[in-house]
A = this chain, B = another copy of it.
Amino acid sequence: MELRIDRQAMVPVVQQIVDALAGWIRQGAVQPGTRLPSVRQLAKDNLLSQSSVFEAYERMIAQGVLAARQGSGFVVAEPPIVVTHPGDKPWYEGAEANWERFTDSPLGELKLGCGGLPESWRESDDLSYAIREVARTDMAGLFNYSTPLGLPALRQQLHKRLKHINIEVDEGRIMTTHGASHGLDLIVRTLLKPGDCVVVETPGYSNLFDLLRLHGITLLEVPRTPRGPDVEALERLLSRHQPRALFINSLYHNPTGSSLTPTIAQRILELAKAHGLLIVEDDVYADLQSSAGTRLAALDTDQSVIYVGSFSKTLSSSLRVGFVVASAEIISRLAEVKMVSGMGASRFCESVLCGLLANGAYRKLVQRQRQRLSGDMASALQVLEDAEWQVFGRPSGGLFIWGRSQLCDYPRVRTLAQQCGVLLSSRTAFSPGGEASDWLRINVAYASDPRALRFFQATALPDRRQPS
């Protein structure tokens, strides 16, 4: 068996062996019980050390993909694997090419599937004032490094905001980061190691999948339902694969817009306790919350939840300020890695945010955003209903609707979008395994634009289409 190991690649050799074997099992639909080559043989065929092959086999046994059978060596285990694979391309290719996801489209199309608020919603007065205040009065804010956990005054403000959403933690359990992605990166690099398994939601957040793969983590998929992750599927994954962590959006899940119910939340916490599972709750849409919401961090009594927040979605993506909440012991480890790997966050940006939280300007900003989004959400759901789209649950707020045109013909839908000047979300970005989907992420803040309305109208089934 030839594995095509690349010794120059970023991915460690053992992980490459694991990936290659998982690919072989998956693509060839290999039956449970099928015998693998011996360690010696596979090492010889691929000029590998036996210890590398042995370690790869051991890792796959730990993952439940392989089993060791007395007398017949290593065999493919039952049940069939659910382990997902990284894409075919090396993960580091295309940094610039992928960037178009985040920047304006060159032809000025409407970014109906994008992840943030439109430029037209931006309010610069308060932000600009807060910046000028720091520049005028705060010498430490202009010049100094911040502290390992982040500016104490800012953590005090975060503490107050968290209390409002029933997350009661003292300031020593809050640490600032360069945005939520940086928080997730610190968590992954500090608490996980290559070869670990974690559970991610499918569909889910593509940058998280890339981040986990970068660290050589194996992704197990749990389907997202309109009420949260499928807890029965989760329980099966926990029993079978002993994953180290679950990554989850409780509120206004990206991309489906769905939110966790209290029942599901309680069940997840029970499972976490029983299986020693770490929960990483990514709550970047927290401040858009317009009705009651359920958060794992608020219900958590065992400090098994690590909570990640950000101001990139509401205030500014430019300042790069987010935060992590965890047990004091974990925060201390994360802080050390944060300092060693970058000497902390920007004190200037921390001070600006602190000013906006302290003077109430941020609170009023997100209040306006919430009100506007509530209206947009209601209209968008109505428009999609009129166009007979299938909608995933019925989001109670936030930015996203996950929907599918009844045309059931993706190339046709994409052509219609192009004709209307609309850019759709990626078909493959939200799947941990990179599978193409007909479901689209709709950002409701863009959905009332005339181009979007024309597009939805065009996708209505012919007999339902309004006469023009």
Q: Are A320 and B343 in contact, CB atoms less than 8 angstroms apart?
A: yes
Interface centre among A136, A143, A181, A345 (most CB of B within 10 A): A143
Q: Bound state CA distance, A178 and B345, in angstroms?
A: 8
Complex: A337 Cα to B316 Cα, angstroms: 22
- Say yes or no: is A91 at the interface (Cβ < 8 Å to chain B): yes
* Interface membership of chain A positions 53-97, coded 1 if the CB is closer than 8 angstroms to chain B and 0 otherwise: 011001000000000000000000000000000000001111110
The reply to whether A92 and B333 form a contact with Cβ atoms under 8 Å apart is: yes
Contact between chains at B346 and A148 (CB < 8 Å): no
Q: Which of A52, A92, A182 has the most chain B CB atoms inside 10 A of its CB?
A: A92
The distance from the CB of A134 to the nearest CB of chain B, in whole angstroms, is 8
Spot the interface stretch: A20-28, A124-132, A401-409: A124-132
Give the residue of B95, B135, B189, B317 whose beta carbon is less than 8 angstroms from that of A339. Answer: B95
Residues in B with CB closer than 8 Å to A55 are 51-52, 55
Given A95-B332, A317-B343, 4 new contacts (CB under 8 A) = A10-B190, A96-B149, A141-B318, A143-B317
Stretch of A206-214, A366-374, A419-427 on the interface side = A206-214
For A140, list chain B residues within 8 Å (CB).
Answer: 318
How far is B136's CA from A98's CA once the two chains are assembled, in angstroms?
31
Q: A318 contacts which chain B residues (CB < 8 A)?
A: 140-146, 346-348
Whether, in the assembled complex, A171 has its beta carbon less than 8 Å from a beta carbon of chain B, the answer is no
Q: Is A357 an interface residue (CB 8 A)?
A: no
Also in contact, A210 and B340, with CB within 8 A (given A142-B124, A318-B141): yes
Q: How many copies does the complex hold?
A: 2
How many whole Å from A432's CB to the nearest CB in chain B?
15
The residue that A132 contacts in the complex, of B93, B132, B316, B336, with Cβ under 8 A, is B132
Q: Say which residue of B128, B185, B332 sits within 8 Å of A136 (CB atoms).
A: B128
Q: Which residues of B contact A343 (CB under 8 A)?
A: 178-179, 181-182, 207, 312, 317, 320
A-B contact pairs, 7 of them (CB 8 A): A95-B333, A119-B143, A124-B142, A131-B142, A142-B316, A318-B346, A346-B349
CA distance A55 to B53 in the complex (A): 11
Binding site for B on A (CB under 8 A): 10, 12, 49, 51-52, 54-55, 58, 91-96, 98-99, 102-103, 119, 122, 124, 127-128, 131-132, 134-136, 139-149, 178-179, 181-182, 185, 189-190, 193, 207, 210-211, 214, 312, 316-320, 332-333, 335-337, 339-349
- How many angstroms between the C-alpha atoms of A182 and B346 in the bound complex? 12
Q: Is the beta-carbon distance between A341 and B96 smaller than 8 angstroms?
A: no
Q: How far is the CB of A189 from chain B (nearest CB, A)?
A: 8
Ranked 6 nearest A-B pairs via Cβ: A182-B342, A185-B341, A95-B336, A318-B347, A95-B335, A131-B135
Chain B contacts for A96, CB-based, 8 A: 148-149, 332, 335
Complex-state Cα separation, A102 to B185, whole angstroms: 24
Q: Could you tell me the distance in whole angstroms from the C-beta of A204 to the nearest C-beta in chain B?
A: 15
Residues from chain B with Cβ under 8 Å of A143 in the complex: 119, 122, 124, 316-318
B-side contacts of A127, CB under 8 Å: 135, 142
Residues from chain B with Cβ under 8 Å of A119 in the complex:
139, 143
A189 to B99 alpha-carbon distance, docked (Å): 21
Q: Which residue of chain B is the closest to A216 with respect to CB atoms?
A: B193
* A98 contact set on B, CB distance < 8 A: 339
The minimal Cβ–Cβ distance linking A93 to chain B, given in whole angstroms, is 8
A40 to chain B, nearest CB (A): 13
Which residue in chain B gives the minimum CB-CB distance to A121? B143
What's the least CB distance linking A296 to chain B, in Å? 23
A99 x B49 contact (CB < 8 A): no
CA distance A143 to B335 in the complex (A): 27
Q: B residues within 8 A CB of A146?
A: 318
Contacts of A52 in B (CB 8 A): 55
